[in-house]
A and B are shown apart, each in its own frame.
Chain A
Amino acid sequence: MLDQADGYMTADGRQIGPVVMEMKNITLRFGGVEAIKNISFDIREGEVRAIIGPNGAGKSSMLNVISGFYVPQDGQVLYKGVQRPQMRPYQVAQQGIARTFQNIALFEGMSVLDNVMTGRLTHMKTGMFSQALWKGRAEKEETANREVAERIIDFLEIQAIRKTPVARLPYGLKKRVELARALAAEPSLLLLDEPMAGMNVEEKEDMSRFILSMNDEFGTTIALIEHDMGVVMDLSDRVVVMDYGKKIGDGTPDEVRNNQAVIDAYLGVAHDE
């Protein structure tokens, strides 16, 4: 386990920074159901942090707590060292947290480019009126934002569908567009809710490559929920394992893989040959 030091060095030589987000003794209830029971963990700057667990373990609830969509009944959420008050989703976005959804939530009728541009919304300062006139500052601002959007389109290799309405795209590409939109916000923390769900092997490989190079290129801190164990173990620096709302493991992929509680609960009980 890690202590509260200023960071650590990963196996592939990346320097991981201080804690960005810290969850302290989080408990979340829906009526009588305890979805999350007294969980604590942290996310450090520059790392890829995974939350795994079987169905119904409370992973998505946890992500929603991180994103500020759910407010836990007990416990504290510290973002950059400050306790986070209750916030509206747009305020969360302004804080530099972006996310993708398990069930894609794009604007189906709009082009890919326009969808990516909506990710830039929090970076636009000019008012509605001057944007409508599209003169002076508004024009400059749009050009600058378009450039950021285009760099992300280039990065995720979706140039060929730039002008295509999202509704016409296959599932795997929609996922990528959603990632592009989240990335366009230049988030300091990016939350990915099952980024590989429903993808074939090749699409998963592509997505893994993008997640890794995103982290590498932009230094984006990433927290992801994922079912596919192989993917999680390859991608993440540290993994939190949940089962029935409780944390049963936390550590590097290797530590988690050898944790007996995790093996029993999630990976299956090992048999002697």
Chain B
Amino acid sequence: MSNTLNGAGGLTSVPALLHRNATQFGSAPAYREKEFGIWQSWTWSQTNDEIEALALGLLDLGVAEGDFIAVIGRNRPYLYWSMMAAQMVGAVPVPLYQDASAEEMAYTMSHCGARFVIAGDQEQVDKVMEIQGELTEFEAMIYLDPRGLRKYDSAKLTQYSAVQEAGRSKRAALEPEMKARIAKLNYDSTCVMLYTSGTTGKPKGVVLSNRNVIETAKSSSEFDDLRQTDDILAYLPMAWVGDFIFSVGQALWCGFCTNCPESADTMHTDLREIGPTYYFAPPRVFENQLTNVMIRMEDASPMKKRLFDYFMGVARKVGPSILDGNPVNLIDRIKYQLGEFAIYGPLKNTLGFSRVRVGYTAGEAIGPEIFDFYRSLGINLKQLYGQTEATVFITAQPDGEVRSDTVGVTCPGVELKIAENGEVFYRSPGVFVEYYKNAESTADTKDAEGWVATGDAGFIEESSGHLRIIDRAKDVGQTGNGHMFAPKYVENKLKFFPNILETVVFGNGKPYCTAFVNIDLTAVGNWAERNNIAYASYQELAGHPEVLSTIQSHVEEVNASVAQDAMLSDCQVHRFVVLHKQLDADDGELTRTQKVRRRIIEEKFSDIINAMYDGSDTISTTTEVTYEDGRKGAISATLDIRDAAVQTVGAKIAAQ
């Protein structure tokens, strides 16, 4: 391997790292998967053998250098090995989303011109079969789980184990070619190509080089002190850049063990059994787990419930400080220790978080109370900010500096700059090579000096040096007073209240900010039931004076919190309306992924918006609605417009 000696100590490619691990940590577990009720495990040297056998088999099938090999299926060691085997023969692995429809797969696979496919099971094989007519370059498919596939025409199909078998038996003949191809790999060879989810337009193929992946894995592993003995659970889609970095990049760099669940349904059981030390989940996973805990505590015996409530109170008070290593008085420490014994320990065990040393959440804003719940239990949950184009890491929170409203400081090697309009730009060794076959988009996103636009607006908090993301850059505007207007920032704060399901804040170019609010029928309905308030419809409950007062108090709380922020203090909500109908994707007000469509809402409810700015106290309106069966109807209502108290921030603004 002497001819690859450059970069990170000669470790400039995935095969090189694999070789190092097989030599250095040969008998340490590299991959585990639960199958037939038992955790099967493979050491690094076994893993190396498996991958080499597959790589030789791929050579036997005729894989050429630079070929694209699509990999589709749930998280399984065999599919991670497929990606590494592809790299060993100089091909480029392209993991695809397993739940993608056949048409979506047709687009990505024909875009990259994949010659080979490695599919997990019959479901994926069927999808490829369905679209193979459109795939001109497609030649052969390798499948993992033979169930249901025995009757398939075998001309293009080969079983994974058969490919490995062929590779093993022809080892002598094929090995020199494999070695030669490995030797050709360097820091600038393509490591992987990942398709972005394509929320705006067609998916784009992000090409990441070995440099991107290995440099990022190296610096992020050092940042969080990841160790060879760590364990992670690989359960997020393999096509997502995060999973690639955690389960391939960092796993190879550190030599830690990647654990694959038995099936998607058993993820929580498997999580508990493995007890990962390094864990990632999007906010909704944490939210669901918290809700489950709370529901089960409601059903617990009164004694247990009292214990839980008492110790959770203690945890909320001192837990985060203890985690951050701040001074805490002795009595509280003793109480916390008791709580750890009686409540937190068993609870963490049930959740599968007993051993978590580093936990991350990212992707969207996480509710502060959810975040604090986990941190108060002593789970080191942190936030990071990243994207596929950056090979994940842009910023992350260092231990001891964790807050729910920032996304941390720049990761090692990353430079950050904030443009005039607030858009965040970064430059790092992880910056992607290009969008495959799309020079135009590449040039739009990445400038000549390597700065990449994130599309998000944010700012660096002066007191802590942490980055705070406030909104998508295109939604950020200016209020009538010339201050920054970032609707999502305020909306997120409002939505953290369980009573508020959805909200839209207006104020771009307006003298002050106003808001639409949708109540959460479950939470508010529950409250109405407990307080003997009868209601016949969503509309009636939404117009109830007590409900309006509750929402008003929430809005005022948010105003107080927004006022703390010098830059965004002008985004306080002066007036608001609780809408008479729920914003609905059927009416075009939300996208199918439940994101608000501002322009359409502004048009549709322009009468209400005008009323909020002309000083009226009520507004009568009629709105067209679409029922689920496609029929149209109209609902009319007279809505109260409420004024919310705002904090004066003149002093702070003057001081700037």
| A positions within 8 Å CB-CB of B | 12-13, 113, 146-147, 150-151, 153-155, 157, 159-160, 162-163, 213, 216-217
Contacts and interface: CB of A to CB of B under 8 A. Distances in A.
Interface residues of B, number: 13
B148 A160 contact: no
B147 interface: yes
Contacts of B263: 157, 159-160
Contacts of A159: 37, 262-263, 265-266
Given A153-B37, A159-B265, A217-B147, 12 more contacts: A12-B151, A150-B37, A150-B38, A153-B36, A154-B35, A154-B36, A159-B262, A159-B266, A160-B269, A162-B37, A216-B148, A217-B150
A61 to B, nearest CB: 35
Contacts of B36: 147, 150-151, 153-154
A160 B266 contact: yes
Contact of B151 (A153, A155, A157, A216): A216
Contacts of A217: 147-148, 150
5 contacts: A157-B265, A159-B37, A159-B263, A160-B265, A216-B151
Interface residues of A: mostly helix, strand, loop or mixed?
Answer: helix
Interface in B21-51: 35-38
Contact of B148 (A150, A154, A213): A213
Contacts of A160: 263, 265-266, 269
Interface string B139-156: 000000001101100000
Nearest to A147: B36
Interface in B247-275: 262-263, 265-266, 269
A193 B148 CA distance: 25
A146 B37 CA distance: 9
A194 to B, nearest CB: 25
Interface of B: 35-38, 147-148, 150-151, 262-263, 265-266, 269
Nearest to B267: A160
A202 to B, nearest CB: 15
Contacts of B265: 157, 159-160
A30 to B, nearest CB: 43
B120 to A, nearest CB: 14
A147 B37 CA distance: 9
Contacts of B151: 12-13, 216
- Smallest CB-CB A-B distances: 8 pairs: A160-B265, A150-B36, A150-B37, A160-B266, A159-B262, A159-B266, A159-B263, A213-B148
B350 to A, nearest CB: 14
B454 to A, nearest CB: 38
A209 to B, nearest CB: 9
A203 to B, nearest CB: 15
Contacts of B150: 216-217
Contacts of A163: 269
Contacts of B38: 150
A266 to B, nearest CB: 32
Contacts of A157: 263, 265
Contacts of B35: 154
A147 B38 CA distance: 10
Nearest to A160: B265
A27 B524 CA distance: 65
A159 B269 CA distance: 10
Nearest to A151: B36
B453 to A, nearest CB: 43
A162 B262 CA distance: 12
A150 B35 CA distance: 9
Nearest to B263: A159
Contact of A213 (B147, B262, B266): B147
B273 to A, nearest CB: 11
Contacts of A154: 35-36
A227 B425 CA distance: 64
A165 to B, nearest CB: 15
A160 B35 CA distance: 12
A146 B38 CA distance: 11
Nearest to B38: A150
B367 to A, nearest CB: 28
A27 B156 CA distance: 54
A160 B150 CA distance: 26
Contacts of B37: 113, 146, 150, 153, 159, 162
A140 to B, nearest CB: 16
Contacts of A153: 36-37
A153 B34 CA distance: 13
B36 to A, nearest CB: 4
Nearest to A158: B265
Nearest to B146: A217
A147 B35 CA distance: 10
Contacts of B269: 160, 163
A106 to B, nearest CB: 19
A134 to B, nearest CB: 18
B75 to A, nearest CB: 15
A153 B148 CA distance: 16
Nearest to B150: A216
B312 to A, nearest CB: 27
B400 to A, nearest CB: 38
Contacts of A216: 148, 150-151
A84 B4 CA distance: 75
Contacts of A155: 147
Nearest to B36: A150
Nearest to B269: A160
A155 B148 CA distance: 11
Contacts of B262: 159
Nearest to B262: A159
Nearest to A154: B36
A162 B37 CA distance: 9
A4 B250 CA distance: 65
Nearest to A153: B37
B102 to A, nearest CB: 19
A154 B40 CA distance: 15
Contacts of A151: 36
A113 B265 CA distance: 16
**Which of B37, B38, B148, B263 has the largest number of chain A CB atoms within 10 A?**
B37
B640 to A, nearest CB: 44
A13 B263 CA distance: 32
A38 B151 CA distance: 39
Contacts of A150: 36-38
A160 to B, nearest CB: 4
Contacts of A13: 151
A159 to B, nearest CB: 5
- Which among B36, B263, B265 has the greatest number of chain A C-beta atoms within 10 A? B36
Nearest to A155: B147
A113 B36 CA distance: 11
A151 B145 CA distance: 13
A7 to B, nearest CB: 18
A199 to B, nearest CB: 19
A9 B36 CA distance: 34
Nearest to A157: B263
A12 B148 CA distance: 14
A229 B151 CA distance: 26
Contacts of A113: 37
B121 to A, nearest CB: 11
A157 B265 CA distance: 9
A163 B262 CA distance: 14
A49 to B, nearest CB: 20
Which of A12, A154, A213 is packed against the most chain B CB atoms within 10 Å? A154
